[in-house]
Amino acid sequence: MDLPPRSVTLVLCLPDGTVLGSLPTVEVAVPWWQEVGPVVDAARQVTGVEVTVLRMLGAASDTGCGGPVTYLAEVDTPVGSLTPWPEPVGDHPLRLPYARPGGPAADLAWADAALTRLSRPRTAAARQVRSWNLSSLWRLATVDGDTWLKVVPPFFAHEGAVITALGSPDVPTLLATDGPR
């Protein structure tokens, strides 16, 4: 079964939540909506803009893959040549920190501190892999190879304890944990 590509619109905001506007639509071959690594790569390749995807704002269907999809993405500084975005992108009291402006930066700062304590500092920029309602996943290159940062909702906060309890070659070694991280 051939799955349709995604036509992605990125609505950009600053770390303080100020909405700047949207980038031109980019096509992404990987259809699955939660797979945001290809979205970040396409934004960089097509527009030259470095983004962090925060959350999906909407899609043309409810299939979970392909078609027109709109995401809210954070940038560090204002970007020129954006299309004004007329719709509100308001917050919700139950929205997870990793889906809010400033949230991913806080998670990465926590991971950097944990890796530094373990003498495994990062050697490259963090690579966003996935972001959706069940987790935020990042690949972090370190002096000892790739490590992963996974941030989950409170109802999955026990995941670190489960990984530690299983402690076998079939599960990754847990380097650090702090609640949902």
Query: Between these two residues, 23 and 47, which has the higher pLDDT value?
Result: 23
Instruction: Give, rounded to a whole angstrom, the gap between the first and last alpha carbons of the chain.
Output: 36
Tokens matching residue 132: 């959706």
Among the ranges given (99-103, 153-157, 166-170), the one the predictor scored with the smallest mean pLDDT: 166-170
pLDDT at 87 over 90: no
pLDDT band at 9 (very low <50, low <70, confident <90, very high): very high
pTM of this structure = 0.93
> How confident is the model at residue 146, as a pLDDT?
95
**Cβ pair 150, 136 in contact under 8 A:** yes
CA atoms of 69 and 115, how far apart (whole Å): 34
Per the prediction, the chain carries an average pLDDT of 93
pLDDT tens for residues 92-140?
A: 889 999 999 999 999 999 999 999 999 999 999 999 999 998 999 999 9
Q: What is the mean pLDDT of residues 57-73?
A: 94
